[in-house]
Amino acid sequence: MRENLHRFFRAARGAGVRLSPAESIDAMRAVSKVGFTDRTILRDTFLLTLAKTQDEKKALGDCFDLFFDQPEPQSPPEDGKPNERDADASNSASDSPGETSGDDEQTEGLGQLAQMLLAQDRNQLSAAIANAASAASLSDIRYFTQRGIFSGRILDQMGIQRLRDDLDNLAATNPALAERLTNALDGLRGTVRDTVSQALMLYGREEAENLRNEILRNAPLSRIEPRQVEKMRHLIRQIARRLRERYSKPRKRQRRGHLDVRRTIRRNAAWGGVPFLTAWKRRHRDKPKIVALCDVSGSVARVSDFFLLLIHSLHEVVDDVRSFAFSGHLIEVSDILESKSPEEAMAEIMSKVGFGSSDYGSSLADFEDKWMSAITPQTTVIVLGDARSNNLDPRADILRRIAERSKRLVWLNPEGRMAWGWGDSKMPRYSTFCTVVRQCATAKQLERAVSDIVASYQ
């Protein structure tokens, strides 16, 4: 049963329940007190000890129901009316009782699996399938393409080869019994398929989710389908959480500094060198600030949506984040993003400045007139856009002044590098004043770019 609990914990993690080793130990201790007899009490025990949010409670409850609801052995398929051969066999059996004892003798000579199938003992068959699934390491299943492999392994563990030999022998000596056994075997195959499908839903969910996420991470953001938008937003939140976990802890350690051994020894000379008082080396670090300018014109609006969501999810790492959006003119959108849901925020931003024809010169002029004071020598300025200004004045001189006032200027372009400089693209001209210029067309590229920016403050 301990092994079953470990498999359940693994399935729960795959269902999205955050489960630490300490929580698993607490759950096992609670289960040792309540036992496995009452499934309702067992289910409530897991919900109380493992789930931390309402979403996790729902996911854990569904996982529990699926895990402990084993497929029932299927009955052999029945024809609507017995055929003439079955009727003749039944009549002859009733006329000559001696033949029944002959069937019993032939059944006794069959293998264990054949005897179980003919007896149709559901409890015995369920236990045999569970033991065979454990021996076949069914919990290692990850992909739907493995269903046939694991079904074959389970049947092999149950003795399918011996059953085939029994069927060959019965086909010559007792065709009626052979047909009955064949029907029972069909029912067994169906039960095994159901067992494998259930295991795939339990143990393959995490791997399938990771595969879908990896495909989505490498998909161009500008071509995300409407049905994938919410999934991409969830993926961006996961990226933000990883970045917070990766960079917030080092910053907390750096606030304290590193132990200064020499100063500590000198300070504690009066106590014989026993370090009652400690001294720490502290290195001054700039307070991180980010100013993000996002093009939300029709060609790059979808990319800006995810970029703004990612930037504003990093407040634990970057203390001061200010965001601006523009197409024909520029506005600050920091308060909108902080006070509203992503859907509501982007709808409001788009209603104000979105989907217009991009005018980088006018937007940069708006920023210089109203918010240039927001840039200090500690500020990293990030511009997200395709640098296409519709043949209007690009005002590269303003971008040069922004670069001179800031710590660095990073430009993220969602277009491929081969398109930079063609048509109305002013990317070669703008890139002259940028510290970093990157293509940023996918979630993976976006994560890498933002990760490098945040890492520079560590």
Convert the pLDDT of each residue in 165-207 to its tens digit: 888 888 888 888 889 889 989 989 999 998 898 888 888 777 7
Provide the β-strand partners of residue 380: 290, 408
Model confidence at 16: pLDDT above 70: yes
* 3-class secondary structure, 318: coil
Average pLDDT over residues 407-416: 91
The predicted pLDDT at position 237 comes to 83
Which residues, at least 6 apart from 283, have a Cβ–Cβ distance to it below 8 Å? 254, 257
Query: By three-state DSSP, how is residue 360 classified?
Result: helix
Q: Per-residue confidence at 74, pLDDT binned at 50, 70, 90? A: low
Closest CA to 163 of 189, 127, 193: 189
Residues 6+ apart with CB under 8 A from 359: 327, 328, 329, 389, 390, 392
Structural contact between residues 236 and 224, judged by C-beta atoms closer than 8 angstroms: no
Type of residue found at 13: R
The percentage of residues in the chain with a pLDDT greater than 70, rounded to a whole number, is 87
Residues paired with 323 in a beta bridge: 292
- Tell me the whole-structure pTM to 2 decimals: 0.61
Residue 95's pLDDT is 44
Residue 253: is its pLDDT beyond 60?
no
- Angle (nearest 5°) at CA 311 between 289 and 245: 90
- In what side-by-side order are the strands of the sheet with 330-332? 330-332, 320-326, 289-295, 379-384, 408-413, 436-439
Quote the mean pLDDT of the chain: 82
- pLDDT reading at 337 higher than 80: yes
Residue 458 has a pLDDT of: 57
Q: Which H helix or E strand runs over 114?
A: helix 112-119
Q: Across residues 10-28, what is the average pLDDT?
A: 85
Alpha-carbon torsion (99, 102, 106, 112), positive or negative: positive
Between CA 212 and CA 409 the distance in angstroms is 34
Q: pLDDT band at residue 397, thresholds of 50, 70 and 90? A: very high
| Residue 106 confidence (pLDDT) above 70 | no
Mean pLDDT of all residues in 34-54: 87
Say which range, 59-73, 288-302, 418-432, has the weakest mean pLDDT. Answer: 59-73
Q: What's the pLDDT band for 308 if we cut at 50, 70, 90? A: confident
Cα–Cα distances (Å) from 128 to 117, 132, 163, 293, in that order, read 11, 6, 15, 64
* pLDDT(100) > 50: no
User: Which residue would you say has higher pLDDT here, 104 or 73?
Assistant: 73
Looking at residue 324, its pLDDT comes to: 93
For the ranges 19-28, 217-226, 245-254, the lowest mean pLDDT is seen at 245-254
Question: Which pLDDT belongs to residue 256?
Answer: 56
Chain mean position to CA 239: 11
375, 401 contact by CB (below 8 A): no
Quick one: pLDDT at residue 282?
67
Distances, alpha carbon 118 to alpha carbons 47, 58, 166, 267, 413, in Å: 41, 41, 12, 86, 69
